[in-house]
């Protein structure tokens, strides 16, 4: 029997920070007829509100630490403001969205990252097995569109800040047993670009050999590397399709005319 399709879309700061970009993305997403779920990250709004509240970002080697006030801030802004605004907007667009953190319905349990060698604070790492697939499937089958904030829990009362890319990956892996899964990491560019200043230079398909070559040549740098590392990790777990592409071109990505498909076979 052919499996039903499901789309897992992850969007991050570049889409969330600008209201008109977010609106366009959600309007496209709401129109897609297949079962679907959205995982959103944070955005600069948490930093701005943190500033107003006197919460100073703490870093270790450029990576942000989640102390107790920062966890509260993230829970307020990501699980509260952003998640509920996205849910209400999708509802207004006719999509029966329902917002979650990992704590809600025990949707996703995480393990607090060990405090050594570096104590990142209240940060949780997820495994693909930690998804409440029963709940997720039941919602998808009932026509709901889950909208997941990058906050999980440890199952013992503690909320944890969790990377949205990893959450999207865990959901996609969990669902592939039952669905033909397409995982889209949506951002502001058409895909992986050969020339970062030319949108039309996007590569339709990228395998690991090409990827490593591009890193060696310096044509993939900075923010793209963790994005792609995550995408390759997801693709290697047998997810139907993993695509990096423009969150404002969802239709084109799904019909294959935009975005970079990650090929884990080579």
Residues that bind its own copies in the complex, under the rule CB under 8 A: 49, 52-54, 72, 75-81, 83-85, 87-89, 91-93, 96-99, 101, 103-106, 138, 142, 144, 151, 153, 155-159
CB of 107 to its own copies, least distance (A): 8
Q: Is 227 helix (H, G, I), strand (E, B) or coil?
A: helix
Alpha helices in the chain (DSSP H): 13-16, 19-31, 44-52, 68-74, 83-92, 133-141, 164-175, 208-217, 224-236, 250-254
CB of 46 to its own copies, least distance (A): 10
Between the CA atoms of 112, 115, 116 and 118, what dihedral angle is there, to the nearest 10 degrees?
A: 100
Q: Edge to edge, what strands does the sheet with 4-11 contain?
A: 97-100, 145-148, 35-40, 4-11, 179-187, 241-246, 260-263, 205-207
Cβ at position 156, least distance to its own copies in Å: 5
d(C-alpha 118, C-alpha 204), whole Å? 38
Q: How far is the CB of 53 from its own copies (least distance, A)?
A: 4
How near is the Cβ of 172 to its own copies at its closest, in Å? 22
Beta carbon nearer to its own copies, 77 or 203 = 77
Are the C-beta atoms of residues 183 and 259 closer than 8 Å to each other? no
Nearer to its own copies (CB atom), residue 158 or residue 207: 158
Which residue number, 34 or 96, has a Cβ lying nearer to its own copies? 96
Q: Whose structure tokens read 């709901």? A: 144
Closest to its own copies by CB, 66 or 101? 101
Q: Helix %, strand %, coil % for the chain, to 5?
A: 40, 30, 30
- The DSSP code for 85 is H
Residue 149, H or E segment = none
In the complex, the smallest distance separating the C-beta of residue 171 from its own copies, rounded to whole angstroms, is 17
Phi, psi at residue 186, to the nearest 5°?
Answer: -90, 135
Which residue's CB is nearer to its own copies, number 65 or number 81?
A: 81
- CB 73 → its own copies: shortest distance, Å? 9
Place of tokens 């080579």: 266
Pick 68 or 194: Cβ nearer its own copies: 68
Q: How far is CA 163 from the centre of its chain?
A: 8
Between residues 98 and 239, which has the closer beta carbon with respect to its own copies? 98
């Amino acid at each position: 029997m052919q499996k039903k399709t499901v789309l897992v879309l992850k969007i991050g700061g570049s889409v969330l920070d600008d209201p008109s970009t977010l609106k366009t993305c959600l309007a496209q997403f709401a129109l897609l007829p297949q079962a679907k779920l959205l995982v959103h990250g944070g955005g600069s709004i948490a930093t701005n509100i943190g500033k107003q509240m006197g919460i100073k970002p703490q870093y270790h080697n450029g990576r942000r630490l989640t102390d107790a006030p920062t966890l509260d801030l993230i829970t307020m802004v990501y699980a509260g403001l952003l998640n509920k605004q996205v849910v209400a907007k999708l509802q207004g667009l006719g999509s029966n969205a329902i917002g979650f953190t990992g704590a809600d319905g025990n949707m996703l349990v995480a393990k607090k990252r060990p405090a050594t060698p570096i104590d990142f604070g209240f940060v949780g790492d997820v495994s693909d097995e930690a998804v409440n697939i029963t709940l997720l499937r039941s919602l998808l089958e009932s026509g709901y569109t889950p909208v997941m904030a990058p906050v999980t829990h440890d199952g013992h009362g503690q909320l944890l800040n969790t990377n949205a890319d990893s959450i999207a990956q865990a959901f996609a892996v969990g669902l592939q047993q039952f669905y033909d899964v397409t995982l889209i990491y949506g951002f502001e560019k058409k895909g992986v670009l050969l020339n970062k200043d030319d949108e039309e230079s996007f590569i339709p398909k990228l395998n690991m050999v090409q990827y490593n070559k591009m890193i060696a040549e310096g044509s993939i740098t900075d923010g793209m590397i963790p994005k792609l590392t995550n995408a390759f990790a997801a693709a290697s777990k047998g997810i139907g399709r993993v695509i990096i592409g423009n969150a404002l071109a969802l239709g084109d990505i799904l019909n294959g005319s935009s975005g970079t498909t990650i090929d884990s076979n080579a």
